[in-house]
Amino acid sequence: MDSIPSLNTLGSIRTTKNGETFESFKKGADHEQPLSPMARMFHEPDFNFYIICIMGFKTKLSPDVFKENLVHTFLKNRRFSSLQVMDKENGSMKWIPTHVNIDDHVIIAKLNPNIKSPDKFVENYISNISRSHIEITKPLWDLHLLDIKTSEVEGTCVFRFHHSLGDGISLMNLLLASTRKVSDPEALPTLPGNKKLGAAKVASLWSTLSFLWNTCVALFMFMLTAVFLEDTKTPMKGSKGVEHRARRFVVRSVSLDDIKLVKRAMNVTFNDAVLGVTQAGFYRYLDNKTTDSPHNMRFRATTIFNLRSTTSINDFTDTDTDGTWGNKIGYSLLPFNIRPNKDPLDYVRDANASMKRKKASLEPMFTYYFTKLVHMLFGAKVAVKLIRKVLYNTTLLFSNVPGPQEEITMFGHRVAYIAPSCYGQPNALLIHVVSYMDKVMFVISVDEETIPDTHKLCDDIEESLRNIKASTQTA
C-alpha cells in the first residue's frame, strides 16, 4: 500500500525549519487565543493523540461535493481554520487564524483497479494513517476519501482530528451537525438520551455516606494507579512505547435489538449490557490464549465520561457559550470481571454493580479538575506524566458514544455506519461502542504487536452476546 502523502506547508505563512514559530505570531494580537491546558497537553511527545472517525457510505463518494460543503461547515469553526503556534519562550500555544486551502486537507486515495481484497485494502489504509501525523504548519485535521466498494459499503471516508481540537463528543457533534435525516433532509439527526446531565443525586443519609465512600475509594485507587498499581500482564496488556506504534482498526456490528433484549430482561442500562458482553468476550479471548483459565487477575478499563451539561448537537461555531467545545472529559477506573462464570448473565450483573458504584461518585469530575490543577501548578509535562501512567497501568480504554437513531446523509451521501476511534494512547486496546439506527458498532483499535488477531477478539465478543442473549431467554 502506498504511504500516506505528507501535508504541504501553507504558502501564505513562512515557517522555521521545525514549523514551531510563524511570521504572523505577534504577542498580544487581538486575534490570538490561547490553547486550553487540556489541549496543550495533547502536544506532549508521549501524549500525542489523534481522533479518527471512519464513515461508510451506501452511495459512491463525490470528492468535489465533500470539499464544497467542508468550506461552508468545518471552516466556519475557528479551530479548523487556525494554526496552533508555540511560543518558544514559555511553551504556551495559541490559535492563529490562517487561510485554508481545502485541497491540502482532503486526500483522495490512489486506488488500484485490480485490488483483490477491497476490505483488506481499506483496513490497511486506515492502519497506515496511524503511522503519520499532521504537520503543525496547517490546521490539524484532514479527510481521507476511499472511493472503493467493499463487502458492506460503496465508499469509505476517514476524518482525522488532532485531539487538541476537541474531545470525541464535541467532534462527533460537529460531524453530526453536517448530516441530515434521510426522512427529513432539513432536519438534524436525533440522539438518544438528549437531556441535561448532572451530578449524582443523594436522597438519604445512607446514600450520602455511600456516595462519599465510593468517591474516596475511587480516588484512592486512582492515585495508587498513578503511582505504581499496574494491571496483571496478559496477552492484552501493552508494553512501553505502544503509543508510538501503528494501530489496527476493526469495526464489528451487532444487533441493537439484541443489546436491548439483554437490557430489558435484566433491568440494566444499555452501558451495563455492553460492558457485560465485552467482559464475557475478553474472557473467551484470554481463555484461548493462556494455558490456565483466567481468574483473580487485575484487569481494568479506563472509562471516559463526558462532563458537559448537555449532549445536544450544536452548530459549527466554537463560541463555547454552552460548553460544547474543548476537552471536557473525566476518567474513571472500572474493574473488569475476567473469570469463568457458569451463568453468562453474571458478566452483566458484575458490570451493573460496578457502574452503579462509579455513578455514585465524583471520580470523573475529580480526575478532570485534578489534572487541570497539576497542569497549573507544575506544567503540561508533569500533568501528562500523571495521566499517561494511569492509562498505561490499566489494560484498555473504553468509551460509549450515542449515535443517531435514524438513517442520515452527509453532504447527500447515505451513511451506512459511523465508527470513531483514536491512536496515540499508551494502551494496546481501545474500544468505542457507538449506536446507529438498528446497529451497535464495536470499534476496536489495537496495537498489532500485542493483539495480532483482532478479528478473533471481535468473534469472541459477538459469540458472547449470543450466549448472554440465549441465557436471558431461558432464565
Catalytic residues: 163
Sequence-distant (6+) residues with CB within 8 A of 210 are 360
Q: Which of 362, 365, 339 is nearest to 350 (CA)?
A: 339
Say if residue 474 is exposed, middle or buried (CB neighbours under 10 Å; 0-12, 13-18, 19+): exposed
Angle (CA) 429-430-433 rounded to 5° is 140
Q: Which helix (H) or strand (E) holds 455?
A: helix 454-474
Q: Determine contact, residues 169/163, Cβ cutoff 8 Å.
A: no
d(CA 332, CA 160): 26
- By CB atoms closer than 10 A (0-12, 13-18, 19+), residue 439 is middle
The total of other beta-carbon atoms located within 10 Å of residue 187's CB is: 12
Is-contact 173 313, C-beta < 8 A?
yes
3-state secondary structure of 232: coil
Nearest to 286 by CA among 400, 423, 450, 445: 450
In single-letter form, the type of residue at position 415 comes to V
Distance CA 15, CA 23 (A): 7
Q: Distance (Å, rounded) from C-alpha 413 to C-alpha 156?
A: 11
Place of cell 473504553: 398
The phi and psi torsions of 30 (rounded to 5 degrees) equal -65, -30
- φ, ψ of residue 44 in degrees (nearest 5): -70, 145
